[in-house]
Every structure is written in structure tokens, then in C-alpha cells.
Amino acid sequence: MVERQFPKLKAAGSSPVSRSLTIQVQLPDLFRSRIQKQQDIEANAFFESFQQPVPVSVRVNPAKTIAIPPSWQPVPWHPQGYYLPQRPDFTSDPLFHAGAYYVQEASSMFLYQVLTQVADLKQPLKILDLCAAPGGKSTLILSLLNDQSFLVANEVIRSRVQPLKQNLVKWGNPNMLLSNNDPADFEFLEGCFDVVVVDAPCSGEGMFRKDEKARNEWSPEQVMLCASRQNRILDKAAALVKKDGFLVYSTCTFANEENEEQMQRLLDSGIWESVSINVPPEWGITASSLNGVKGYRFYPHKVKGEGLFMACLQKTSGDNGEEVSGKKLSFLPPKQAAVLTKWLTNPASFSFVMGKEQIYAMPAFMTEVYARLSTRLSIVQCGFPIGKLAGDDLIPSHELALSTALHEQTPAVELDLSNALLYLKKGSLKPESGWPKGWATANYKGKRLGWMKVMPNRMNNYYPAEWRILKDIEI
């Protein structure tokens, strides 16, 4: 019965059998030579793991709960993480488009353990994810925040901002600000963040099993180039952490130069301490302690996941930042704002700010944050656009449909799998008797996909054209 509550997704590839066969990965010779010299790695078992299929895992959105199929197996270090028996065609699952889960490599989910063990998540926290795309760690952080905490999700590469934005929108938590900036642009926020997360660009050794490009581009020179880049990023990131705050650093590589040595450089400054994380031995995670750095390594022959390094430092001294002045915001007049309140579960907790084209619903406590940060940062989104006013009527935004702030009593149309996929392809559906007239969300298994407007004889599909499914799917 539980299995039927979740769509049976078609496996990617020719057949499930093909997923169980070993694969052939040619590792760079110099990489193999270096690994054989690392004492904490059983080299033969390590190399053999690269010939095994890549595990597939997802992290379920606790704000958009779904029934878990019996075939899904828990990821030990995250309560909403699950391994799938094989890789399905996620594009064919409406729940994926609804933001009910995020496809994330299992090792990366260890961030949950770090944050829940070191940070007081009951307090109002300011968290920065400095290298946020494509959004795995940002969505994980958002699920841990209380109502008075917020996340700044930043991405420096412009081409990666829109995929990041789409994943944040699907996740639905409004307590976030999305920016497109170089780490140096944050200097005016020195000592302002309780937690700064740096998932640094690296040589990608931990992804060799599934990333041929990373294998082909790898060289010892590339490792050192990445280490130099990480030095710069960490110098900027470390300055942003307030006293007693935390810096969480991770890479998907095994090189000491990109991992422990980066942390050691900060420890040598005398204002940081390396923080221990409680890790049960049955998880298979390797705790390293090179020169006082307490790091956590994920080796693919010991854990069901890809290669990863993660460490956490706490700042023991330093001055906390001062609040900078912000620009004056243009708030929606009270009479017009009253039109919007029926669309939100808790409208009193939001302020409505006029944007260039749409009205933005921002958690009220974040308006000052936005006013300050927008003077010096390139802000892509704060809170979420709620829509446009046409007289006394709201033309709702797609972001509102996917937001957890949308009122639960908003009219909705429940679709079966074939009609949900047709909707996601921006196809036309014929209204059925009992459908509410006017604006309604298109739902699949109770999860909202987007807006439709139901007319007497037709339905207008308001799913964003740039989000629509383009691939051929059997409906």
C-alpha cells in the first residue's frame, strides 16, 4: 500500500540489470601513485570501489512529506536521506518537480550532522552558503532553520545562479536571500555570520567514478591550482564568521593540500579551534587528525557514497561586525497589502516590498537584512515574488505556488500521473466537473506543481515555459 502512494519511476538506462554490472574507470597514474602512499587508505579496496556502480540517493523535503517506498534504504547520517535501489528517470516524477525531494549525493548530507551537533539551531542564526550551486547544501540548511533564522545562498558563477534559484524555489522555504557575488564582495559583512559554509571548488577526485571530465582534467598541477583558489576563498570566508561562530569546509577530493592543509593554515592563525563531530564507527566514515585538524573523510570503499572531506572550525576570538546602513525600501500600501493576506498561511509574518515587476513577500525580520545587503551585493531574490496586482486581484507567481507559505486552503486540482506530466509539459487539460473556477494549484499526490486558471470551458496552464519538461515522456 505504501509503495502505491509513490510513483513507480522508470529506471534510467536500458534495464535495471545494466545498473548492477561493474564499470570501467581508468584512474590517472599519478593519482594512483599518490593514493598508494596515503596511510589511511587501503589502496586495493579503494581502487576497486571505482569499478562499482554509483549509489543513488535523495533527501526528502520535511515540509513536503511523502510516503517512503519500502525499497528505499536510510542514509545513516541524515534522517531524511535515502538510497534508491537504482537510478530512476527523475524527470518523469511530478514529485521531483514539486520539490518533495532533492537528488543529493549521500556523503554531502553529512552537513546535517555537523550543523545539528555544533550550532544552536533554536537561536536566530545568520548562515551563509558561499558556494551554493546547485543547491544541495542550501536546501539542507533551509530545512534546519527556525522562523527567525535565514540563509544567504551565494553563487559566483552567473550561469549556475538560475539552476540554484530553481532548486531553492522548489524547496519552498522563504527565509532565504539569493545572491550572485564574488567572496570578496562580502567584506563589508566581516564578523556578521553565525555559520559560513564553504563547499569549495576542487580537483574533483571524489567524483572520478561518475565524472569523466574530472578524471581527464586531473593533474598534480590542477590540485595545486585548486588549493591556491581555496586559500583565497577561505581567507574571505573566515573573516565573515563572528566570534564563537563556525566555518564548515568541504571538498569532493582526497588531496591533503585541498583538505587538512587548508584547515591547518587557519588554525595556525591562533583564532580557530578544530571541532569534533560524533561519528558512530558503523557509518564507515574515516576521522582524520592531521596536525590537529579534525576532518572527516568519505572513502567510496568504506561508505555508500562518493568521496568527500568535511571539517568544522570554531572562531575563538575576533570582533563582531557592525550593522551597515541600508537603502529605503518601497513597501506595498496597506490597502493593497490586504489583498495579499488571504494567499498566505501566516501573512502577519511577512512584509510586502515593491520590486521592478513583481511584489515580494519577505519574512518581516528579513526586510532590514535585504535593505542592508542590497546596497553592496547583487541580490537575485529575497523571500519570494508573490505576484502582480491587477486592480484588486493578484496574478500569483509560480514561486508562490511552490512556497511553504501558501495558504493551505488555496483551491487545488488533484491530477493523476499522466495529467500531471501533461501539465508539466505545459500542455492543455480539459476541465472536469468539480474543478474550482479561477486560480487553483495543479497538484500531484497533494504536492503543488504550479498554477492553472480554470475557465468554464478551458484551463489556462501557467507553468513557466522555461521550466517545462522538454524530453519525450510516455504519458
Average pLDDT over residues 326-333: 92
Shared domain check, 386 and 237: no
Give CA–CA dist 96/88, Å, rounded.
11
Identify the pLDDT of residue 10. Answer: 52
Q: Does residue 197 sit in the same domain as residue 302?
A: yes
Residues 281 and 388 in one domain: no
Q: Give the pLDDT mean for 62-91.
A: 97
- Are 153 and 85 within one domain? no
At position 296, the amino acid (one-letter code) is Y
Percent of the chain with pLDDT over 90: 88
User: How far is Cα of residue 451 from the mean position of the Cα atoms in its chain?
Assistant: 24
192, 202, 226, 252: the catalytic one is 252
Q: What angle separates helix 260-267 from helix 220-239, to the nearest 10 degrees?
A: 40
Residue 398 lies in a domain: no
List, in sequence order, every beta strand (DSSP E) within 238-327: 241-251, 272-274, 286-290, 293-298, 308-315
Is 36 domain-assigned? yes
Q: Does any domain span residue 406?
A: no
Same domain membership, residue 301 and residue 246: yes
Taking alpha carbons only, the member of 279, 286, 249, 223 closest to residue 31 is: 223
Q: What is the pLDDT of residue 23?
A: 63
Query: What ranges make up the beta strands (E) of 409-458?
Result: 412-415, 438-444, 447-454
pLDDT, tens digit, 9 for 90 and up, residues 202-212: 999 999 999 99
Q: Is the pLDDT of residue 439 over 90?
A: yes
Residue 66 is part of a domain; what is its CATH number?
A: 3.30.70.1170
Kindly state whether residues 380 and 424 are assigned to the same domain: no
**Cis check: omega of the bond before 134, within 30 degrees of 0:** yes
Domain co-membership, 154 together with 290: yes
Catalytic annotation present for 202: no
The residue among 128, 132, 106, 107 whose CA lies nearest residue 119 is: 128
CATH number at residue 234: 3.40.50.150
pLDDT at 412 over 60: yes
Instruction: Give the span between the Cα atoms of 336 and 299, in whole angstroms.
Output: 56
| In-domain check, residue 292 | yes
CA nearest 249: which of 311, 182, 201, 292? Answer: 311
Both 79 and 125 in a single domain?
no
428 in the same domain as 384: no
Give the range among 128-142, 206-220, 323-337, 386-400 with minimum mean pLDDT: 323-337
Please report the DSSP string for 63-103 in residue order: TS--PPPTT-EE-TT-TTEEEESS-B-GGG-HHHHTTSEEE
Taking only the tens place, the pLDDT of each residue in 3-14 is 333 444 554 443
The share of the chain scoring above pLDDT 70, in percent, equals 95
Q: For the CA atoms of the chain, what is the radius of gyration?
A: 23
| Pair (185, 297) in one structural domain | yes
Assess if residue 223 is contained within a domain.
yes
Containing structural domain, residue 45: 3-103
Residues 364 and 417 in one domain: no
258-263-267 Cα angle (round to 5): 155
144 is a domain residue = yes
Give the chain's domain count: 4
Residue 91 has pLDDT above 50, yes or no: yes
Provide the Cα torsion 20, 25, 31, 36; round to 10°: 50
Asked whether residue 133 falls in the same domain as residue 198, the answer is yes
Q: Residue 425's domain is classified under what CATH number?
A: 3.10.450.720
Which of 288, 315, 342 is where one domain is finished?
A: 315
Residue 263 lies in a domain: yes
First to last CA, the chain: 23
Number of C-alpha atoms within 13 angstroms, CB side, residue 381? 24
Q: Tell me: the pLDDT tens digits for 10-49? A: 544 433 333 334 567 899 999 999 999 987 789 999 999 9
Structural domain contains residue 18: yes
